[in-house]
Amino acid sequence: MSKFDLTDSDVVVVVGSGAGGGTMAHELTRRGLRVVLFEAGRRETLASFSQNPGTAYAQLTWLEPRSQTGTWDPVKNSPNQPAWHCRTVGGTTVHWTGATPRLRRYEMQARTTYGDVPGTSLADWPIDYEELKRWYLVAERRLCVTRRNGNPGMPASNNFKVMYNGAKRLGYKRVHTNYLAINSRAQDGRGFCIQQGFCVQGCKVGAKWSTLYTEIPRAEATGRLDLRTECFVTRIEHDASGRATGVIYRDAAGQEQRQKARIICVAGNAIETARLLLLSESARFPQGLANTSGQVGRNYCHHLTGFVWGIFDEPVNATRGVVLGGVVEDENVHDPRRGFVGGYHLELASLDLPTLPLVGLPYGWGRDFASIMDNYRNMAGILINGEDMPRSDNRITLSRTLKDPHGLPVAHVNCEEHPNDIALRSHAQRQARRMYEAVGAKRTLSSATPPATHQMGTARMSKDPGHGVTTPFGRTHDISNLFISDGSVQTTAGAANPTLTIVALVLRQADYIGREISAGRL
């Protein structure tokens, strides 16, 4: 493995090794650039993944507590963990479920399409749909997405068959086994999915795309990647002209180090990326780095989620098969007659038995709860994934009460639900219940809102520097050699699981960085 000197000011620093950072590291190294990739977590392997849910959770998850306020359910139900994401090499691509839908054209023009929705900070994306679609095509080939480019879809599980038949009885047309970055046939040096159902514990056969065993090893093979694990970046530094010069970090032994850099790409996810920028305040940037607009941390979106369960007389065995191996796309349209703007997906879902009572049920212990658990084998599940309205005060700030092991303020999440969010979720829950009732469910029930697994918007792109943090290429308006390379740059959330969009934007960004370097502008 390559090692670069701490004083080498010609390297590119990438912070975070997930969908954004891992992809960026590969793209830059194959263009001849030397990259130092920082990851706060450890490096696991296919062999070290655990299929014990509790062990896997502890092994992969960002466990440091955060503070939060607001009206959404996790404030009450999960006060120290408003978001569920990973702290490991490969980031959340290790535990994600592989769903890779595209954003729709109308979702990228939300302000124009929806109009003035009071209480929101809606804005149109500063890039057009055709430009993003061009990079979706590249990303889908890279990730070997099913139902694209001739890749077969996944086989239908029992859980999917229940969803499919209920959806068809309601008149839905766009129902299938989902677009998934999971091999339905062996390719890209990886095996095919064996339908084990342990997607979120880490795919032990490597069928699911993850930067852990795709982009990062390929970057290492170039001889131009220095991967530093268990190294936590605490600050980005800049010179008198406002140009980023390097990062301060704590190494695996807890010692503070400084790494120089020519370019810095931050890909820590929308919560930790915003936190790092805010921690990097200075006399020149007293509100936080790249934050002269005051927009860093604002417009936090997380998707409207929640589970709907149907209980049947016969076993469904929903855990057999791909976790998100099914989707109903018909409600991903803008139709204000439903009582809200934007749309949602209904995605297949299952939860392992230890996790189900923690995030998937509407209430706690008792006789009725026990009756539900007795019917675990007979349960079918749906996950709602809907467009969350951006709000200026839904934001990430630095906690005033909690500090991390390094003595630094952790992220504080404030999230107030918009009336549109409530109306959309209510409609989605009703439709999911109707689907199950249409095929004979003896009971249906809905969960509270679980901790967020999709984080977006806290460093959103904009043409006007006063309305966002980055340019359409994710280059910060304030600092020419500082880039944001994750879902933070999404101007709005849409209803699509964000990983495909993150990869597409990072592939586009890496191409842009390469061209800017070649032209002598970076």
In this prediction, residue 362 carries a pLDDT of: 74
72 inside domain = no
Reading the block at residue 323, the tokens are 């976790």
Which CATH number is 403's domain given? 3.50.50.60
Rounded distance, CA 82 to CA 475, Å?
28
In this prediction, residue 273 carries a pLDDT of: 98
Length of the chain: 522
Bridge partners for 482 per DSSP: 264
Q: Give the model confidence (pLDDT) of 179-219 as tens digits.
A: 999 999 999 999 999 999 999 999 999 999 999 999 999 99
Q: Which of 262, 253, 444, 464 is nearest to 361 (CA)?
A: 444
Per-residue pLDDT averaged across 222-251, rounded?
Answer: 98
Euclidean distance between the first and final Cα of the chain, in Å? 27
Q: Give the model confidence (pLDDT) of 123-147 as tens digits.
A: 999 999 999 999 999 999 999 999 9
In this prediction, residue 337 carries a pLDDT of: 97
36 inside domain = yes
Per-residue pLDDT averaged across 13-17, rounded?
Answer: 98
Per-residue pLDDT averaged across 71-98, rounded?
Answer: 94
2 inside domain = no
Give the model's confidence band at 1: pLDDT under 50 very low, under 70 low, under 90 confident, else very high.
confident
Rounded distance, CA 190 to CA 203, Å?
11
199 inside domain = yes
Torsions phi, psi for 55 (to 5 deg): -65, -45
77 inside domain = no
Rounded distance, CA 148 to CA 177, Å?
12
In this prediction, residue 436 carries a pLDDT of: 98
- SS3 (DSSP) at 158: helix
CB-based contact 322:154 (threshold 8 Å): yes
Question: Is the pLDDT score of 359 beyond 90?
Answer: no
How far is CA 8 from each of CA 31, 36, 133, 246, 248, rounded to the nearest angstrom? 18, 10, 37, 10, 14
Per-residue pLDDT averaged across 245-267, rounded?
Answer: 98
Reading the block at residue 481, the tokens are 């050699």
In this prediction, residue 358 carries a pLDDT of: 85
Domains held by the chain: number:
1
Chain-wide mean pLDDT for the chain?
96
In this prediction, residue 365 carries a pLDDT of: 81
Question: Is the pLDDT score of 364 beyond 80?
Answer: no
In this prediction, residue 317 carries a pLDDT of: 96
186 inside domain = yes
Q: Give the model confidence (pLDDT) of 413-448 as tens digits.
A: 999 999 999 999 999 999 999 999 999 999 999 999
pTM exceeds 0.85, yes or no: yes
Per-residue pLDDT averaged across 264-289, rounded?
Answer: 98
Per-residue pLDDT averaged across 475-500, rounded?
Answer: 98
116 inside domain = yes
78 inside domain = no
Q: Which of 459, 479, 468, 475 is nearest to 513 (CA)?
A: 475
The strand order across the sheet containing 232-238 reads 232-238, 244-250, 256-260
Q: Give the model confidence (pLDDT) of 280-322 as tens digits.
A: 999 999 999 999 999 999 999 999 999 999 999 999 999 999 9
Structural domain including 209 reads 12-67+84-518
Rounded distance, CA 101 to CA 345, Å?
10
Long-range contacts of 124-132 (CB under 8 A, 24+ apart): 124/491, 125/461, 125/491, 125/492, 126/461, 126/462, 126/463, 126/468, 126/471, 126/472, 126/491, 127/461, 127/472, 129/103, 129/105, 131/508, 132/103, 132/108, 132/501, 132/504, 132/505, 132/508
